[in-house]
Structure 1
Amino acid sequence: MTANLLNLNVDTLFEQHSVSEIDVVHKKIQTVVENKREELRTHVGERYRDLLKAADTIAAMQTSAATLIEQVHCVQANCRILNEQQLLGFKTTAPATDAALQQRNASKKLQSYYGTMVQIKLLTSLPELIWTHIDNEQFFAATELFIFSRHISTGLQLDGNSALMQKLPVARKQWEILRPFHLTIKHAVLAVLEREELCPEIAVDCMQSLLLLDKCDLSSVLQTFLNLRASAFLNCLQSHLTEPRRVKERILASLGILNSTIELLDKCLLENGLLFTRLAECSASTCPPSISRMESSERQLAHLLPEIIAGFKPQFDVPKLSPKHLGMSLQQWLDKMNALAATQLQQIFALVSNMQTIQDIKSSARSTGRPSFLHLEQQLHLEHSELDFYATKYVPLINARVREIIRSSWAHAMKQTYEKVLSLIEAGVSTPPHQIWKEQNDDLPLSLAAALSDQPKRLANRTKGYDSSTIDLCKQFDSQLADIVQELNVLLQEQTTRTEDKMSLIKFLRETAQEQVAEYLSKLKSLQLRERPALLQALRNSLALVELCPNLKLCFCQPPSWRQWNQSGAGIDHWQRICGLIEDEMLSLWLLIVEDVLTAHSCEKQLTKIISHEAVLRDFALWQTLTLEQRDEEQEQSVQSTIRIPSQPRLSLQTYLHQLIQALNLAVPQTLPSKVLHAFNQKLLGQLLGHYEGLAAAECTKTSQNIALQLYFDLKFLERVFAVSREERPLYDQIHSQQNNLRDCIDPFDFELFAEHISTHVARSTSRLQGELGVLTPYTPAPGQGTTASSALAHEADPNVLCLSTSGSTSLWFPLLPIVMPQAAGGLVGSECKQKPVETDKTAIATTATTTTTPTRKSGGSATTRKGDNSKSKSGAASFFGMSQEWFR
């Protein structure tokens, strides 16, 4: 079958057979070719060692044959000379000419035979040599040898009809082996140009190979080079699909590809670049022919080859590449890189999870150096800094990723905190009063270092209702914020980052914190909480975030190490603003609790609406009887008169306030903030004044001076105990209007007589009931304290005691206890104690207590001794705490 296929005559094939038969013959030929290829591969693989031995034997035989041929030539020459000498007399002219012609023809045939044999030997040696150059990444040499083999095969195929070539089919078979090297070399060149790391020498060698292999122009080679570098950039970013690589390594490798591409263009393709130098060397007359790349044994047979084979070398038309065309191609490639960076590179940066990785990327990028291509930009008319890939493509993505890490970390921390708060609200966790105010061993710090540490103050936390779950919640949230601040601090401490970028990061952190806190408050508000335990749990946890999370404040008020980049000092304003926002939102929750308590314990239900005689006996407390002594100038006698004035508010009012305080303590065991207390008092006074307005309009009040006097006393007491000032104009006007209405029901002469004593009794009742009503009433100085004492107290530093301080701003939760000054014995009635409303009998009003206005003084003997003892104890305590003795008065 194979012999028949080899002896086919192509000229008669199409004359003697049909198209279908020719197609069958073509398929058979292809099958035989593939079988022969497979057989050759198997044969070479199994007998590689035999081939090496055979090659050595052939080399030895070649030497022997050359020696033998030379000797035969010498014998032939000697015989020719002898023959000419013997036949010299018998020789004629014509036969001599024929002999010379025959000799030349024979020599020509012999030379053609030897040349053909040498060419076939070159074809058999070229595959291994080409593979060697490919393995050594000498692609131009491999391409040149492939072109040389194609040149030899073309010459032999042109002489294919000769008798010699008909007897040597190996020439055609060998070309079938060499033909695939076109794709093999090209694929190897493209693979090398697509590598991450590429040196200029290898790049130029690959470009020369493409120019020689495809006979294309330099613009096509440039476009192929740029497309392959773009593929290398994309493969680097997607290298996790083929091999595991860290994100940082992929990002840095992609930056190296971009910079190296521009460096290769600068060194290789600009005017007088390395590529043009190599092409000029290859086109020079001094360039050796292609056969010089063969081994020495083949080079020795070069004299047997035709000149067209022995002198063959690749020809190059020295290409030209204008800067305009190079600039346009580079600009298109830059646009493509921008599109890839916007998608693929951004996806890679999305995998960066912490600031330390970003810092490592920036440090590595700086350590490798940022190449300057200013001359290339000027020569190619590109925009300034367009080739600074790190600044134009990587720095924006780094900054965007930093912001995304900050935002996601903040959102994650805030989401966990909100979910924890929501779970606490749903669980209905409430702190009983005894758990807040129960004394524990670890309440007070055991050392000065512990007292000065940043640990949360236990007593202060319990006064605000912060239980262990709330403290754990804040600790977890603060630790997450501490990680954010610490990671951001890593970038801010970097010396090479611009100040504007650092200020932008600080501002972004503040805006993100403000946005997340506002979103948290909006979610909390959307819950529409109405139950008292849920409201308390929500506002406790929210207020605790401000007080127990110092790193939250750092997000608004920068640490000292950051303030060198932010000199505006506006951080405290932003912090106070966010604290005010939280307090305002929590105040709305407080008001719901306040309204719930006041609704459940309304004064309209607790206080008597109509004052009857029974109500007077039951409700009015003991009035004080005063004896006034006046001297009659006409009769020169002293006249005594007795008056009765109220000494304390109505018992029902005291009972109501006491029950209201108990209900408030059960509802809110913690200390009320000042704003909440003020709002509570405003609503409470509004209800009380509405109740007293109804009492003042009653007929019994208008007809009974004593009832009006007691109600007037109650209003004065409320005004004094709740410290109603002119700043609260509507409430101030309302209470004074009702007082004036009640004054109209009292005889003016009697009122002038009672006014001073009523004021004294109101002040005395306020001082006596201030401890009981201290939960509701704000701090007011004692009547005996003068202006100097109160002003001194307001301006002195905080004493060395536990400071139950702020709720995130500057307002005190509750003030220190008032300092009680010693008063004259006449100021108070002996050692008069507070009277409990529940112990007052119905007949108490019939009992009278007579007190004269003349003050009495006790002897000072024992008092002097006690005073000395007290001074010693005061001085010892003062020296121990480092405070003046005035503090103990």
Structure 2
Amino acid sequence: MTANLLNLNVDTLFEQHGVSEIDAVHKKIQTLVENKREELRTHVGERYRDLLQAADTIAAMQTSAGTLIEQVRHVQANCRSLNEQQLLGFQSVANASASTVDSRPEAALHQRSAGRKLQTYYGTMAQIKLLTALPELIWTHLDNERFYAAAELFIFSRHISTGLQLDGQSALMQKLPVARKQWEILRPFHVTIKQAVLAALEREELLPEMAVDCLQSLLLLDKSDLGAVLQTFLGLRSSAFLSCLQSRPSESRRVKERILASLGVLNDTVELLDKCLLDDGLLFTRLADCASSTCPPSINRMESGERQLAHLLPDIIAGFRPQFKVSQLTPEQLGGALKQWLDKMNALAAAHLQQVFALVSNMQTIQDIKSAARSNGRPDFVRLEEKLHLEHSQLDFYARKYVPLINARVREIIRSSWAAAMKQTYERVLVLIESGQVQGPHEIWREQSDDLPLSLAAALSDQPKRLANRTKGYDGATVELCKQFDSQLADIVQELNVMLQEQTTRSEDKLSLITFLRETAQEQLTEYLSNLKGLQLRERPALLLALRNSLALVELCPNLKLCFCQSSSWRQWTANSAGVGIEHWQRICGLIEEEMLSFWLLIVDDVLAGHSCEDRLPKVINHEVVLRDFALWQTLTLEQRDEEQDKSVQSTIRIPSQPRLSLQTYLHQLIQALNMAVPQTLPPKVLQAFNQRLLGKLLAHYKGLTSAEGTKSSQNIALQLYFDLKFLERVFAISREERLLYDQIHAQQNQLRDCIDPFDFELFAEHITSHVARASGRLQGELGVLTPLAAAPSLSSALAHEADPNVLCLSSSGSTSLWFPLLPIVMSQAAGGGGSASERKILAPEPAEKAVPTTTTPTRKSGGSGARKADSGKSKSSAASFFGMSQEWFR
């Protein structure tokens, strides 16, 4: 872009582009210029900052150099003073010898001078002998981890070497350069001993005796104050804590061991401070022993052969002992140093301890950590906090740092395990959806040998029943998916049970874990449903697979329910919240059903769209449709006795006996299509939604037929349509609870009644009701898939008290409701076949006389709203009685 702007030709730009484009180019050039200016300012600022930093560094170097020169001057002055002190003993001996020269003869003077030289020679040789023996002895003490002894011998060797170097100009020392070379061998021991001491203080396990030995060695080697040694000690314990958490390639330590070791370092550090530095600690006891007059000189640490040369050494060498001038720390000083160390440990724990806890993979490890942490001895934190003026529980590292991380890790294990199980289940559902392997009705309802349990124990077990699974469409892949998901949830429940059975965990923490498990389960299931809805499935096989596998999780995964409704062993900690878990379980089940109901409705709408009643039912009823579509009507003969003429009067009426053939065919085809699309049993809510949509379409179709001119002009057509609506109302059990459908169907029935003569309808009404009941009972078997439970005939209620005579009762929703009731028994006269119509004669009784015997009425079912007793066939015209008309009017 920059190159293009630099290569612009202004003349060409104004010739080939408009004003708006030139304005845009102008703005881009201005933006580029501003960016370059800002970049230049930044670059200049960085260079200026580097110059300032260099100037500050030079000034700091100048100050450091001046300080170093001053310290060198002090060192020279100290060395000069030390030289004078070392030669003090030798000068006193020389002065004494000189005073005796004058008082004695020359021979005695010569002899004493020779003795003094010989003594000086032997003393020098003894000192050199000590220097040659000290390296091996120091190494021996270092190997045996006696660091203070090694440090004391090193200081002793330095004292000897200093005295020999001060006398380095003498003739004897000129002939013995080994003294100087031996000091070159001993000098590196200062660094070696200090490194060994620091390494010992950095160990995970450090005893109080070893800690005191190391601290005393540091005080002796560096001649520093106790505060600096304390800071070094605390810094090394921080390094020990960090080394416990960091795994080295050469070590294969388990996570539990690393966590417990780090906790041990923290507790041991506080315990060491309590035993060694607080009050009259072990360190101050050792220092007091070293300062006492009974403390042996350093030469006593030599071997027995070297100790025998003590009489040859000068007193300043033979009586040398290390001196300590250490003031005891006050509780405020110790508390301040410890508080700074605690802040540092908090930062290290926040940066590294959580990473180590993230490696813990199961609850058993966490339980082992908690048990081991509580079983190990811990210092008296309350006493130390009061003495050092620290906050409450500030020294209890386990309660402040480890317990929150343990609780967080437990929750993370639960959440990650749940998320992994739910993710794997979702991926398996996606694989099943992509494969599109939907079992057809023949595969689902094909009888298999292992459908029924082989024993009573198997029947009473909690294992899911195969036949019951197949009624809901749960095939082998779905059952296997739920089995794997339930096994993963069983592991989560078992892991949590390990924590809940631990006696040291508080009841509040246990209840919190149970609540977290329920919340995690609810969150993961909600996310699963959201992901499933996000797929925007529209194909019928994919929708069936999605909803089957989702609903199966609730029914075939008992451990899923345990995540919401706690097991009996957990309820001792849940107490009053047990009912809350049941409410959450019911809520999540309702959520899944509600989300899956949306999938069901898509399938229902797809089936109804493919089999629309507008396309399969005649839209206009003419004579051809009446001959082809209207079923055979039944002819009924009414017989009454005329009071005036004293003779019987017969009248014949024709009443529909069954719905239109096209309606029956449409419902049959719809059921076949529904069985092909959804071979499983429809849940009640889905069936209700399907029926409501179906009835809505059917009522819209009948509304068009009702408003047609042919219906209004033909009583028979209106009567048949009225029969169809009464049949639909009875079969689909339209009640007042379904207010909209109830009002619609009754409004259409009233419109059709207006098209029928009221006197004729008065005669037809009772018979139509009985025919509707008979037709609905006869077609109950065919319409069983669509028939709601409330519409089951009275025969089903009788079967409810029996012992479920067929295996289909395994799919019943209760002890009194069956999905597939037995077919009703009807007489041959009631079967609407292709033969001639069988006439029935029904006697109408006289008002005051007993009824004349008539022909036998056909057998009917007992019970039900449409059933009548045997003598109910004797009726009379209520219309004639009401208006006081004679029977001649009906002829």
Name the residue aligned to 1:815.
818
Deviation digits for residues 745-794 of structure 1 (CA, Å, limit 9, x no counterpart): 11111111111111111111111111110100113466667xxx95x988
How far residue 857 of structure 1 moved from its aligned partner, in angstroms, is 6.2
Deviation digits for residues 667-706 of structure 1 (CA, Å, limit 9, x no counterpart): 1111111110000000000000000000011011111111
> Residue 204 of structure 1 aligns to which amino acid in structure 2?
V
> Residue 745 of structure 2 aligns to which amino acid in structure 1?
I
Which of residues 548, 551, 556 in structure 1 aligns to 2:564?
A: 556
State how 1:216-227 maps to structure 2 within 5 Å.
216-227=224-235
Identify if the C-alpha distance between structure 1 residues 95 and 180 changes in structure 2 by more than 3 Å, giving closer, same or farther.
closer
How far residue 98 of structure 1 moved from its aligned partner, in angstroms, is 3.6
Confirm or deny that 1:849 pairs with 2:857.
no
Confirm or deny that 1:700 pairs with 2:730.
no
SS at match of 1:565: helix
How far residue 447 of structure 1 moved from its aligned partner, in angstroms, is 0.7
State how 1:707-726 maps to structure 2 within 5 Å.
707-726=717-736
How far residue 618 of structure 1 moved from its aligned partner, in angstroms, is 0.7
Identify if the C-alpha distance between structure 1 residues 551 and 763 changes in structure 2 by more than 3 Å, giving closer, same or farther.
same
User: 8 Å contact 2:811–2:819 — kept in the other structure?
Assistant: no
> Residue 815 of structure 1 aligns to which amino acid in structure 2?
L
Confirm or deny that 1:122 pairs with 2:169.
no
State how 1:457-472 maps to structure 2 within 5 Å.
457-472=465-480
State how 1:188-267 maps to structure 2 within 5 Å.
188-267=196-275
CA distance in 1, matches of 2:231, 2:224: 11
Name the residue aligned to 2:634.
624
Which of residues 697, 704, 715 in structure 2 aligns to 1:687?
A: 697
Deviation digits for residues 154-196 of structure 1 (CA, Å, limit 9, x no counterpart): 1111111111111111111110000000000000000000111
> Residue 775 of structure 2 aligns to which amino acid in structure 1?
S
User: 8 Å contact 1:143–1:212 — kept in the other structure?
Assistant: yes
Deviation digits for residues 796-850 of structure 1 (CA, Å, limit 9, x no counterpart): 799697686799xx8899735447899xxxxx7x4335447xxx6xxx8xx5431
CA distance in 2, matches of 1:388, 1:859: 93
SS at match of 2:652: strand
Deviation digits for residues 387-435 of structure 1 (CA, Å, limit 9, x no counterpart): 2222221221111111111111111111111111111111111102111
Deviates more, 1:367-376 or 1:727-736: 367-376
Name the residue aligned to 1:404.
412
Deviation digits for residues 99-119 of structure 1 (CA, Å, limit 9, x no counterpart): 444343333222222211111
> Residue 648 of structure 1 aligns to which amino acid in structure 2?
Q
Corresponding pairs, count? 747
How far residue 283 of structure 1 moved from its aligned partner, in angstroms, is 1.0
SS at match of 2:637: strand
Name the residue aligned to 2:868.
none
SS at match of 1:300: helix
> Residue 445 of structure 1 aligns to which amino acid in structure 2?
P
Deviation digits for residues 243-262 of structure 1 (CA, Å, limit 9, x no counterpart): 11111111111111111111
Confirm or deny that 1:678 pairs with 2:688.
yes
Confirm or deny that 1:177 pairs with 2:166.
no
Deviates more, 1:634-643 or 1:203-212: 634-643
Which of residues 662, 668, 681 in structure 2 aligns to 1:658?
A: 668
Identity %: 76
TM value normalised by structure 1 = 0.81
State how 1:790-869 maps to structure 2 within 5 Å.
815-818=818-821, 830-832=827-829, 834-835=831-832, 848-853=837-842
SS at match of 2:572: coil
How far residue 566 of structure 1 moved from its aligned partner, in angstroms, is 0.7
Identify if the C-alpha distance between structure 1 residues 626 and 148 changes in structure 2 by more than 3 Å, giving closer, same or farther.
same
CA distance in 2, matches of 1:748, 1:578: 55
CA distance in 2, matches of 1:798, 1:270: 85
CA distance in 2, matches of 1:254, 1:494: 23
CA distance in 1, matches of 2:121, 2:165: 15
CA distance in 2, matches of 1:216, 1:798: 97
CA distance in 1, matches of 2:857, 2:711: 43
Identify if the C-alpha distance between structure 1 residues 151 and 370 changes in structure 2 by more than 3 Å, giving closer, same or farther.
closer
> Residue 287 of structure 2 aligns to which amino acid in structure 1?
L
Confirm or deny that 1:437 pairs with 2:445.
yes
> Residue 613 of structure 1 aligns to which amino acid in structure 2?
H
> Residue 708 of structure 1 aligns to which amino acid in structure 2?
A
Name the residue aligned to 2:774.
764
Name the residue aligned to 2:373.
365
Name the residue aligned to 1:343.
351
Confirm or deny that 1:395 pairs with 2:403.
yes
Identify if the C-alpha distance between structure 1 residues 859 and 629 changes in structure 2 by more than 3 Å, giving closer, same or farther.
closer
> Residue 367 of structure 1 aligns to which amino acid in structure 2?
S
SS at match of 1:605: helix
How far residue 334 of structure 1 moved from its aligned partner, in angstroms, is 1.4
How far residue 200 of structure 1 moved from its aligned partner, in angstroms, is 0.3
SS at match of 1:589: helix
Which of residues 420, 424, 428 in structure 1 aligns to 2:428?
A: 420
Identify if the C-alpha distance between structure 1 residues 183 and 746 changes in structure 2 by more than 3 Å, giving closer, same or farther.
same
SS at match of 1:438: coil
Which of residues 612, 633, 644 in structure 2 aligns to 1:602?
A: 612
Deviates more, 1:687-696 or 1:516-525: 516-525
How far residue 381 of structure 1 moved from its aligned partner, in angstroms, is 1.4
How far residue 208 of structure 1 moved from its aligned partner, in angstroms, is 0.1
Name the residue aligned to 1:520.
528
CA distance in 1, matches of 2:308, 2:379: 50
TM value normalised by structure 2 = 0.81
User: 8 Å contact 2:829–2:838 — kept in the other structure?
Assistant: no
Which of residues 352, 364, 374 in structure 2 aligns to 1:356?
A: 364
Name the residue aligned to 2:646.
636
Confirm or deny that 1:576 pairs with 2:586.
yes
Name the residue aligned to 1:741.
751
SS at match of 1:648: coil
User: 8 Å contact 1:628–1:853 — kept in the other structure?
Assistant: yes
User: 8 Å contact 2:781–2:823 — kept in the other structure?
Assistant: no
RMSD in angstroms over aligned alpha carbons? 2.4
Confirm or deny that 1:135 pairs with 2:143.
yes
SS at match of 1:853: strand
CA distance in 2, matches of 1:605, 1:812: 41
CA distance in 2, matches of 1:285, 1:369: 39
User: 8 Å contact 1:470–1:541 — kept in the other structure?
Assistant: yes
> Residue 772 of structure 1 aligns to which amino acid in structure 2?
E
User: 8 Å contact 1:763–1:783 — kept in the other structure?
Assistant: no
State how 1:270-419 maps to structure 2 within 5 Å.
270-419=278-427
User: 8 Å contact 2:244–2:258 — kept in the other structure?
Assistant: yes
CA distance in 1, matches of 2:102, 2:143: 62
SS at match of 2:573: coil
> Residue 179 of structure 1 aligns to which amino acid in structure 2?
R
How far residue 370 of structure 1 moved from its aligned partner, in angstroms, is 4.1
* Gap regions ≥5 residues in structure 1: 1-92, 823-827, 861-889
Deviation digits for residues 59-98 of structure 1 (CA, Å, limit 9, x no counterpart): xxxxxxxxxxxxxxxxxxxxxxxxxxxxxxxxxx989444
User: 8 Å contact 2:658–2:771 — kept in the other structure?
Assistant: yes
CA distance in 2, matches of 1:94, 1:565: 105
CA distance in 2, matches of 1:94, 1:388: 78
Deviates more, 1:147-156 or 1:291-300: 291-300
> Residue 851 of structure 1 aligns to which amino acid in structure 2?
R
Deviates more, 1:763-772 or 1:302-311: 302-311
Deviation digits for residues 494-530 of structure 1 (CA, Å, limit 9, x no counterpart): 1111111111111111111111111111111111111
CA distance in 1, matches of 2:282, 2:811: 75
User: 8 Å contact 2:212–2:282 — kept in the other structure?
Assistant: yes
User: 8 Å contact 1:672–1:813 — kept in the other structure?
Assistant: no
State how 1:32-43 maps to structure 2 within 5 Å.
none
User: 8 Å contact 2:727–2:776 — kept in the other structure?
Assistant: yes
Which of residues 166, 169, 193 in structure 2 aligns to 1:161?
A: 169
Name the residue aligned to 1:730.
740
CA distance in 1, matches of 2:759, 2:855: 29
